[in-house]
Chain A
Amino acid sequence: MVGISLARIFKAALQNFWRNIWLSVATAAIMVITLLMISFLYFANIFGGQVLHSIQEKVDLSVTFKEDVQEQYIQAVANELETRQDVEKVTVITSDQALESFKSRHTDDPLIEESLGELENNPLPASIFILATEPRFYENIAKQLESDKYTPFIDSVNYEGSSTVIDRLIALIASVKNVGTVITIVFALLAVLIMFNTVRLAIYSFREEIDIMRLVGASRWFIQGPFIIESVIVSLFAVIISTAILYPVLNTIAPHLQRFFFDAQSSPFNIYDYAVTHWARVIGLQVGAAVGLAIISSMIAIRRYLRD
């Protein structure tokens, strides 16, 4: 009995859907735009995070020591820095290592090789590279290194000035998020409004049936179910369309984004690949948003126009 009733509720929902096909399509269209906005926000968030991360990885703080500073001392400074909460990683480059890496970078340059051979002492200073857990911490770390305790041994504290780039990027991501959120909310409200009206019209066109259903003892779910399910059908329809738009678009823009934001990385972040591997999350987000909006709007319409 429950099964047959459920089947009838679904049948009635589909009938509503077809009876108002153009309204259903218009509702679905607005829902598609809303879902695309939500997806855009989602991907902008993910992508921004990745870009930020890749830039942060490039930034660091380096300290160059004076020529005759002992290796033990350098190691001690490194150890001291490592105990700090805001420091993620400390790398020590001894002057020998610096020379090695310099040489290996210039193996094809006979002129440089020659001039290096003429030197008695290693001219390259020892240094340490510090990676902070977050870019905003560099300033504090630098301050510690500039204190009197270290000045006799340290030649210079080099702080790559990319912090302004990062700050700007963070601000940009934040404003994209804000504008995106506002637009998304506007479209979500529009979707609710239109869906609400669709359900209201459906209720209106079924008012005779509804009266008679009540008369002959239809349960609340039997009367209201079709309207809720109809709006859920419309919203799932919208999910299919928005997914069908979303993936090709991501596929098209992914290589451009990759080239523009992640130059010369061994494994640059690809937004399309991300969307493919995280398909369940991407579709789940849309289904959740679409069905949620559908249920909210149809419930409001039912509460207002199907009072018993």
Chain B
Amino acid sequence: MITFTKVSKSYTPNSAALDDVTLNIPTGDFVSVVGQSGAGKSTLLKILSAEERPTAGNVVIDGWDITRIKKWQVPHLRRQIGVVFQDFKLLPKRTVFENVAFAMEVGGAIPKEIKNTVPHILKLVNLVNKADEYPTKLSGGEKQRVAIARALAYKPQILLADEPTGNLDALHSWDIVQLLIKINKLGTTVLLATHNDDIVNALKKRVVTLNGGKVVSDQQGGTYKL
């Protein structure tokens, strides 16, 4: 369970990227966060991964108040939260397998564990046959699937996807969304920030709409409307 209580965030004194946001996200939920560019979607996700601190309010994940989390606790938080971005953020000098393994190495996994786990994850994202390729040889959709595989490497409870389809064509976008649904069905809470209306409308899941940092609508089976 993730709760935002009256969360505000200002990067500069006279403007609010998030303004008095209150949200409850039960474990296992699939939430699309929509809104125009600059509405505060990324800021909302960044507060969850402690990349940004709220200016006011509280954020609690499974009883853990991360609002004023200590620096040294941040890595612990991040190992429970997978993140995926529009620009993939893969390491070009490492293969698909190594990119996924990298996240496990960071978490202190032993080589045997890595050798056993990575193929499973690659199978989940349907990239087993690309394990030894370098990212430059992959299509955008494949790159994003590698990024998702890496985010899943240490079995996070929450997956944050910030415009994961922003660089992809419709077909590949749909591919990625299907994958997110699959991951959600396996028990992971998914937050998807997007401004792709086709996807949101087809998902028929919960939709939280932001505008100017405020939650303007929050609907189950919602649609994209501004």
Binding site for B on A (CB under 8 A): 1-2, 4-5, 8, 208-209, 211-220, 222, 308
Q: Are A8's CB and B105's CB within 8 A?
A: yes
Q: Are B78's CB and A216's CB within 8 A?
A: yes
Q: Which of A4, A209, A212, A308 contacts B108 (CB 8 A)?
A: A4
Tally of B interface residues using CB under 8 Å: 25
Known pairs A216-B153, A218-B75; A209 contacts B91 (CB<8 A): yes
Q: Are B106's CB and A216's CB within 8 A?
A: yes
Closest residue on chain A to residue B79 by CB atoms? A217
**Cβ-based interface call for B83 (8 A):** yes
Q: Within 8 Å CB of B78, what residues of A? A: 214-217
Q: Which of A1, A215, A218, A220 contacts B72 (CB 8 A)?
A: A220
Decide if the interface of chain B is mainly helix, strand, loop or mixed.
helix
Q: Within 8 Å CB of B111, what residues of A? A: 4
Interface residues of B in 57-111 (CB under 8 A from A): 71-72, 74-79, 83, 89, 91-92, 102-103, 105-111
**Cβ-based interface call for B53 (8 A):** no
22 intermolecular pairs with C-beta atoms under 8 Å apart:
A1-B110, A4-B111, A8-B105, A208-B91, A208-B92, A209-B91, A211-B89, A212-B91, A213-B106, A215-B83, A216-B78, A216-B79, A216-B102, A216-B103, A216-B106, A216-B154, A217-B75, A217-B77, A217-B78, A217-B79, A217-B154, A220-B71
How far in angstroms is the closest Cβ of chain A from B220? 31
| Distance of A216 Cα from B104 Cα, bound (Å) | 9
| Distance of A87 Cα from B90 Cα, bound (Å) | 79
Q: Within 8 Å CB of B151, what residues of A? A: 216
| Distance of A208 Cα from B77 Cα, bound (Å) | 21
Other A-B pairs, 16, CB within 8 Å; known A216-B102, A216-B154 = A1-B108, A1-B110, A4-B108, A4-B109, A208-B91, A211-B89, A214-B78, A215-B83, A215-B89, A216-B79, A216-B103, A216-B150, A217-B77, A217-B78, A222-B106, A308-B74
Between A1, A217, A222, A308, the greatest number of chain B beta carbons within 10 A of the residue's beta carbon is seen for A217
Q: Within 8 Å CB of B153, what residues of A? A: 216
Q: Within 8 Å CB of B107, what residues of A? A: 216-217
Closest residue on chain B to residue A12 by CB atoms? B105
Closest residue on chain B to residue A4 by CB atoms? B110
Q: Are B110's CB and A212's CB within 8 A?
A: no
How far in angstroms is the closest Cβ of chain B from A177? 45
Interface residues of B in 168-207 (CB under 8 A from A): none
| Distance of A209 Cα from B98 Cα, bound (Å) | 12
Q: Are B89's CB and A220's CB within 8 A?
A: no
Q: Which of B72, B102, B109 contacts A212 (CB 8 A)?
A: B102
Q: Are B108's CB and A5's CB within 8 A?
A: yes
How far in angstroms is the closest Cβ of chain B from A16? 14
| Distance of A255 Cα from B188 Cα, bound (Å) | 77
Q: Within 8 Å CB of B72, what residues of A? A: 219-220
Q: Are B110's CB and A218's CB within 8 A?
A: no
Closest residue on chain A to residue B106 by CB atoms? A218
| Distance of A209 Cα from B150 Cα, bound (Å) | 13
| Distance of A214 Cα from B111 Cα, bound (Å) | 21
Between A8, A209, A216, A218, the greatest number of chain B beta carbons within 10 A of the residue's beta carbon is seen for A216
Between A2, A219, A220, the greatest number of chain B beta carbons within 10 A of the residue's beta carbon is seen for A219
